[in-house]
Amino acid sequence: MPTIVIIPVKSFRLGKQRLASALDDAQRSRLGRALATHVAETVEEAGLLVMFVTDDPEVAAWATSAGFPSLPDPGQGLNAAAAAGVEWADLSKSSWIVLHSDLPLLRAGDLRALATIRGDVIAPSSDGGTSAISARSSIEFAFGPASFHKHLPQLHSPTIVARTGLLLDIDSPSDLASALAHPGGRWMRKAFS
């Protein structure tokens, strides 16, 4: 069975608040949707299965209309959403990867690199966070500032995967500017029009 890629997603309308100085509400909403679409389509291109986890009815309806399944988020933040997705994947006896939805430079090769590793794997983001993580045993998710270093000791002999498509997530106006300046991120300009 293919690896399930668990993608927690907040409300498109309420997400990306840290970009408020660079984008208005409508632009942030369109960007959140465009990023989630890009990540999901890249997961499919890599031959993996998408599973969104969200507590937002609009996001769930969007996922369904786009042909992507979703699970209800227990509503206790990113860590609980990731755990809910992993619990579902474990029930189906599938391997899993928890992946952020805001990776504009993500490519199918980045995901294949993660999925072919048979043990625990973690991909850091450039700000010390965790863009992707997979474990063969139970872990307690610790997303947020410095999550890479919080997750690392919980993993058994992990492989660290540092690739351009996994390093840059969109959390700040400077992240957005970096992504837009990169040839692989120019596609996002359509999200603002």
What pLDDT was estimated at residue 53? 97
One pLDDT digit (tens) per residue for the chain, 193 residues: 789 999 999 899 888 888 988 889 999 999 999 999 999 999 999 999 999 999 999 999 999 999 999 999 888 889 999 999 999 998 878 899 999 999 999 999 999 999 999 899 999 999 999 999 999 988 999 999 999 999 999 999 999 999 999 999 999 999 999 999 999 999 998 886 6
This prediction has a pTM of 0.95
Sign of the four-CA dihedral 66, 71, 77, 80: negative
Residue 5 burial (C-beta neighbours within 10 Å; 0-12, 13-18, 19+): buried
Residue 62 domain boundaries:
4-192
Q: Count Cα atoms within 13 angstroms, Cβ side, for 99.
A: 34
Q: Determine the Cα–Cα distance for residues 162 and 76; give it in Å rounded to an integer.
A: 29
Neighbours of 127 (CB within 10 A): 17
CATH of the domain at 63: 3.90.550.10
Across the chain, the runs of DSSP E, i.e. the strands, are: 4-8, 49-54, 70-72, 96-99, 121-124, 130-134, 159-160
- How many folded domains does the chain comprise? 1
What pLDDT was estimated at residue 193? 66
